[in-house]
Amino acid sequence: MKKKIALALTALFVISALGYSNTFSLKMNYFIPRAQSGPSWQDSLWTIEFDNMDFAKSHFQGMSLGLSYEYFLTRAFSLEFSIDAFYHKNNSGLYRDYVGFELDNEWWAVLSQYDKYMDVDTFSTGHNLDISITPVQLSLKIAPFGRRNKLIPYVGAGVGVYFWSVRMYGDMIDFDDEYVYETTQGDELPVYPIYAVDAREGENLGKVSFGYHVLGGFMFSLTNALTLDIGFKYNMAKGKFTEGFEGFAPFDLGGYHISLGLNYWF
């Protein structure tokens, strides 16, 4: 993450030094991942996790820091180069409908509704899901009433490069490998092996994907050099798994940024 921030800040400094910027902005963002899941996303990691674990989408909402330089092309049009950094969530979850048990030094999972039929003690089983997303974006913004008013509404759209990583570690139930456990009472129960997992996608600077976004908001003049910025941004991007999660559907990196910040005008 430190390398990502250093790279982005260097790029911002170069742009500023070349004179392409009229404002510098510092914002606090609240990021709400879109986390697309459901029947149309059957092989998505989001879908699999939400179907089997006690994770909720709200567990992956969090803060990020926004930095940007903006260069005004005309009275109404501007270009903005931005980075939304430090979004990182590491959540621990349990399998919602399954419990584990040990048999012959191996771990197995059985539906929790069959717990009362088991001849051995059972335990909860689960894993951690660790996600990091850092968009670096270029936007074309429009301030239809200009930039020298007390209230400055704006809209815009653009493209971005997304640095991201995903890690899962802990226990994983292999639902593709079903066995039958016969209790001493003669009950036959379907069971599944539990394996230790430490799957990673993206290290160092992380994986790189491309996406686009739309945005809007208002700036309120505080002084001649400062404005308060309240904004909204909708990101759309997908990451392709090629390492620890190979075979999964593309990973939804998109989401909603609600931001509050200050703009310093040069």
Q: What is the pLDDT along the chain (266 residues), one digit of tens a residue?
A: 545 555 554 554 444 444 444 899 999 999 999 998 877 788 899 999 999 999 999 999 999 999 999 999 998 999 999 999 999 999 999 999 999 999 989 999 999 999 888 889 999 999 999 999 999 999 999 999 988 789 999 999 999 999 999 999 999 999 999 999 998 888 899 999 999 999 999 987 789 999 999 999 999 999 989 999 999 999 999 999 999 998 899 999 999 999 999 999 98
Predicted confidence at residue 20, as pLDDT, reads 41
State whether the Cα torsion 116-120-124-129 is positive or negative. Answer: negative
Predicted confidence at residue 3, as pLDDT, reads 54
Q: What residues contact residue 46 under an 8 Å CB cut-off, 6+ apart?
A: 35, 36, 37, 251, 252
Predicted confidence at residue 212, as pLDDT, reads 98
The token pair at 67 is 């930095």
Predicted confidence at residue 15, as pLDDT, reads 46
| SS3 at position 136 | strand
Give the domain 2-265 fold.
Porin (2.40.160)
In degrees and rounded to multiples of 5, residue 2 shows phi and psi of -60, -35
**39: how many CB neighbours lie within 10 A of its CB?**
6
Name 137's bridge partners: 82, 160
| SS3 at position 191 | strand
Q: What residues contact residue 257 under an 8 Å CB cut-off, 6+ apart?
A: 29, 30, 31, 32, 64, 66, 84, 231, 232, 233, 234, 235
Q: What is the pTM of this model?
A: 0.87
Predicted confidence at residue 36, as pLDDT, reads 84
Predicted confidence at residue 21, as pLDDT, reads 46
Predicted confidence at residue 14, as pLDDT, reads 47
